Amino acid sequence: MSVILTLLAALIATGACAYHRSSLRTFAIAAPLATLVVGLLTGAYWTMAVLLVVELGVAVPLLMPTFRRRQVTAPLLKMFARVTPKLSETEQTALEAGTVGFEGELFSGKPDWHELLKQPKPELSVEEQAFMDGPVEQLCAMVDDWQITHELADLPPEVWEFVKKNKFFGMIIPKQYGGLQFSALAHSAVLQKLSTMSATLASTVAVPNSLGPAELLLHYGSEEQKNYYLPRLAVGEEIPCFALTGPYAGSDATSIPDYGIVCRQVVDGVETLGVKLTFDKRYITLAPIATVVGLAFCMYDPEHLLGDREDLGITLALLPRSTPGLEIGRRHFPLNIPFQNGPIHGKDVFAPLSVLIGGPEMAGHGWRMLVECLSVGRAISLPSNATGAMRGSAAATGAYARMRKQFGLAIARFEGVEEALGRIGGLTYATTALSRATAAAVDRGEKPAVPSAIAKYHATEWARTVAGDTMDVHGGKAVQLGPKNYAGRGWSSVPIAITVEGANIMTRSLMIFGQGAIRCHPYVLKEMQALSIADYGERLRSFDRALFGHIGFGISNAVRSFAMGLSGGRMGDSAGDAYTRRYYRKLNRYSAALALCADTFMGVLGGKLKFKEKLSARLGDVLSYLYIASSMLKRYEDTGRPEADRPFLAWGFHECMWLIQNALDGAIRNFPVRPVAWLLRVLVFPLGRREVPPSDRLGRRVAALLTAPNEARGRLLEWVYLTPTPNNTVGRMNALLPEVIAAEPVERKFLKAQKAGQFKAHDYDGQLAEALAAGVVSQAEHDLLKRVRDGVFEFISVDDFDPSELRAAVTRADERKKKLADAA
């Protein structure tokens, strides 16, 4: 027993030092001291002596920097240099482009929650709120999505004019150039509200404010270019597009075959130094109506007119539409969502070097420019459009499920529908928190490369889930297209967001963990950077600091993951209130588990992990759900910890924990080195997999919140256009919802009399009149039932068409296309 107690003392002291990330010097004191005290008290002298030799034999040499570097670090440095894959210039640029925010804490295994909670609450300014209440409301009131998608295949001229006049294309442009200079949060809010009315309109507004000429000019343009283009872009005098994707370069944008050759050419009698461009681009949003085209191409200087280099690399240019040889093709038609989109071509198109964004000195810097701007734009545009669509679906489906009756009950009362409503509410809450967090990161000056990939992937994937549930709950109502159908086009548009700005399959399997593992890890990037230091002594010292920090980090995460796994995430530092404290502790546990698995996978597989995309995707999922869960907790804190929101928060949080568990389990189960996988399973799941998905009871509470007016529902539907205008079916439906609920006890009384055989009439109006005459309902109750019946009939009705109307729509579309072609 004395031997066991001595061993336990040494183990507990070592574990405590590792758990709290104490220094090596602290370990060298604490572990031997615990061993010595317990050994002397229990009389286990031989065990004590052996343990002291081991503990001091490990600690003392490592505390001697010169000896440690020469005997331990130097051989490991050689090994590390041999096995570490060399980063390509493209990969290096991508890694250096972004910044690290709170996602770095989540990768640390020991998040500092006070860093998250001290971030300022994101809020709209007075000016931004006035824009939401004024021009955005007015624009939503003008939109008829059926007219846009079916009759015109375009925005109406008055909508185009309104968008330009009110500077919707200039939200990111500073006021000095005539723009609105809105925050990222306001930019997101505008897109969310517009997307509740029209995916076509939201996409049209999003693109000029995302990755495009304005964003690139702001960061890299010359003063002359800024002064010329930005004022015109702000008021829609110039319509921009950006041409990156082509037939042979989609997700792999760095392999673009489009090229430009530096040369001299006589223009208007003057010999001009410029570039001769050949390109073939497709899927370019706003291209058919663009007046200025941003173009990405590979630039070559075979005659060395600009310097010694021949291959200058990816370069960006701005070409006026009037450039001779620039050919803007016909329109693409993406899944019946007719935002302007089409191909662009050119062969031997000559343009002066002044068209290069930033001038000739920025030649070859295009990839860095794209990556830096893309992380900002991707953090806002697609997540915001997806969030707005989900909020709109939550508003529509919650109200419809309360109004639509089958078997004498609102369909919201059926558990199958209730399950879908729970999913809609929980995922919408999580996605609103996610899009809010990424917008806030941009407003803090970050370039959130990893969070933007997380937001783009998960917001659009969850929008797909919510769109499917919306279709299922509405049934035939959502299938029959027409002016009364507010769900069908949203369902059709989902794959577009899944595909653009980095296809989701590639984003998940390559980008989230691929960038996060190096950028967010506290030591990996430092170790890799140490290899590039020219001076050997400094290289050895830098690598030594990073290496032993990394070793301590790994041991600590192993201990923390095991200890918190044993406690079920009930121990450790925390934050929040009594309700959320347990949530923070769960995140501590899985943060340690992620850090442990990531270190182990990278250490064992090395460069091969780069090609194990399914493993990388699962670890990326863990990082994503940690980030989303922390975003939900921050949203809960920012809104004043409202008790009414707790069902939404709980559903979203438990869903994230369930998905984290599944991702970790899948990664460990498929890890190719089985003994390592067995050890990881013990450290990560010492008591097995204990997480469960959101319960049926919790889903019922979420569904109840969605189907009745309340403060939690109001916060969830923030930035949804709910004004009950003639063009807004969902707004009118929500306006009727309180009366629908008020009528329910009267309906029960009416149905009871009906079942009792008190009415002779067979039609509803006749029965209602008899009920009034018999005193079953009062006059006020009669009028309420009549209003609700008439109102609900509008919302459950579907459209039908004379065959000639459908043929006429095709003819009108053909005529419009011909007019546009003639005008061009």
636 near 594, Cβ under 8 Å?
Answer: no
Taking the alpha carbons at both ends of the chain, their separation in whole angstroms is 92
Count, residues in the chain: 824
Locate all alpha helices (DSSP H) within 444-535, ordered by sequence.
449-474, 476-479, 488-499, 504-506, 513-519, 524-530
Helix (H, G, I), strand (E, B) or coil at 82: helix
Cα distances (Å, whole numbers) of residue 373 to 48, 144, 283, 779:
60, 33, 19, 63
DSSP H helical segments within 695-763, as ranges?
696-706, 711-716, 729-755
- Residue owning tokens 């990073």: 546
Give which of 466, 462, 473 is closest to 415, Cα–Cα: 473
Widest CA span in the chain? 102
Q: CB of 421 within 8 A of CB of 398? A: yes
What tokens does 587 get? 């995140």
Strand, helix or coil for residue 274: strand
Tell me the C-alpha distance between 238 and 286, whole Å: 11
Give the long-range contacts of residues 607-614, CB within 8 A, separation 24 or more. 607/83, 607/84, 607/85, 610/85, 610/514, 613/509, 613/510, 614/509, 614/670
How far is it, in rounded angstroms, from Cα 809 to Cα 328?
26
Query: If DSSP codes are grouped into helix, strand and coil, which group holds residue 596?
Result: helix
Alpha helices in 567-645 (DSSP H): 581-605, 613-638
* Closest among 463, 454, 329, 443 to 388, alpha carbons compared: 463
CA atoms within 13 A on the CB side of 354: 8
- b/e burial code for range 50-73 (CB count within 10 A of at least 16 → b): ebbeebeeebeebeeeeebbeeeb
DSSP 8-class letter at 800:
-
Residue 100: which region, alpha, beta or left (left: phi > 0; alpha: psi -120 to 50)?
beta
Structure tokens at 50: 């052996």
Q: Are 379 and 455 in contact (CB under 8 A)?
A: yes
CB 170 within 8 A of CB 135: no
Question: Rounded to an integer, what distance in angstroms lies between the CA atom of residue 675 and that of residue 30?
Answer: 32
What is d(CA 1, CA 581) in angstroms, rounded to the nearest whole number? 38
Using alpha carbons only, how large is the chain's radius of gyration in Å?
31
Fill in the DSSP letter of residue 210: S
CA 32 from chain centre, in angstroms, equals: 49
Question: Catalytic site residue 538?
Answer: no
Q: Which residues contact 457 (CB under 8 A, 6 or more apart)?
A: 504, 507, 508, 512, 624
* Residues in Cβ contact with 767 at an 8 Å cutoff, skipping those fewer than 6 apart: 750, 754, 759, 761
Element of type H or E holding 159: helix 157-165
CB within 8 A of 721, min separation 6: which ones?
137, 140, 193, 196, 197, 392, 728, 730, 731
Instruction: Give the CA dihedral 572, 576, 582, 584, nearest 10 degrees.
Output: -60
Taking the C-alpha atoms of residue 551 and residue 400, their distance in angstroms, rounded to an integer, is 56
Name the active-site residue from 103, 105, 501, 747.
501
In what helix (H) or strand (E) does residue 428 lie, and over which residues does it extend? Answer: helix 415-443
Q: Which residues are catalytic?
A: 501
